[in-house]
């Protein structure tokens, strides 16, 4: 239930006029996302698919992605599982118009994640893909 509340808050804030630092996924949010199994994740995505600003994205495997729309584009969350545990999460921000301020905000936020999370950021002008893994200590 905490996960559902988290997702509702996350995506309701992402649908505001602009992305701000406190609307990006935090370490606490990642803890919730990495604490899912395939079944729980898919059930939550199906629930959010009923909202106007969110949609379920089907892929070749049996795991759904969750896409949320905001004023200047969308963000898609795609978890990757190994034996029903999340091993990696991709966040794909797609923008209608390139905004260097948003680009810098996203880059700075995700490169500063602490502790157990490692990131790799792919920047393709109007699309930013953030790959997040749990770091091996």
For residue range 28-78, what is the model confidence (pLDDT) as tens digits?
Answer: 888 888 888 888 888 878 877 666 667 778 776 788 888 888 888 888 999
Q: Which residues sit opposite 68 in a β-bridge? A: 54, 75
- For the chain, what's the residue count? 137
- pLDDT single digits (tens) 66-109: 888 888 888 899 999 988 889 999 999 998 988 888 888 888 88
| Amino acid 14: pLDDT | 46
Q: In Å, how far are 9, 11, 42, 51, 64 from 111, measured between CA atoms?
A: 23, 21, 28, 31, 26
Q: Output the furthest CA–CA distance in the chain (Å, rounded).
A: 41
Query: What whole-number distance in Å separates Cα of residue 119 and Cα of residue 128?
Result: 12
- CB-based contacts of 103-107 (< 8 A; 24+ apart in sequence): 103/128, 105/19, 105/20, 105/21, 105/24, 106/19, 106/24, 106/130
Q: At what angle do helices 27-34 and 2-14 cross, to 10 degrees?
A: 130
Pairing mode of beta strands 54-57, 65-70: antiparallel
Between strands 117-123 and 54-57, the pairing is unpaired
pTM, to two decimals: 0.78
pLDDT of residue 7: 57
pLDDT value of residue 91: 92
In this structure, what token pair is assigned to residue 34?
A: 């990495």
Which helix H or strand E contains 95, and what residues bound it?
strand 85-95
- pLDDT value at residue 15: 43
């Amino acid at each position: 239930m905490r996960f559902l509340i988290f997702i509702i808050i996350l995506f309701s804030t992402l649908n505001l006029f602009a992305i701000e630092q406190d609307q990006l996924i935090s370490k606490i949010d990642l803890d919730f996302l990495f604490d899912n199994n395939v079944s729980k994740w898919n059930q939550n995505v199906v629930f959010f698919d009923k909202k106007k600003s969110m949609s379920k994205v089907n892929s070749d495997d049996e795991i759904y992605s969750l896409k949320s729309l905001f004023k200047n584009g969308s963000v898609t969350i795609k978890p990757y599982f190994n034996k029903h545990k999340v091993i990696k999460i991709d966040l794909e921000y797609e923008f209608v118009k390139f905004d260097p301020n948003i680009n810098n905000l996203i880059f700075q936020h995700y490169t500063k994640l602490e502790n157990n999370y490692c990131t790799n950021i792919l920047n393709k002008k109007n699309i930013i893909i953030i790959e997040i893994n749990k770091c091996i200590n």
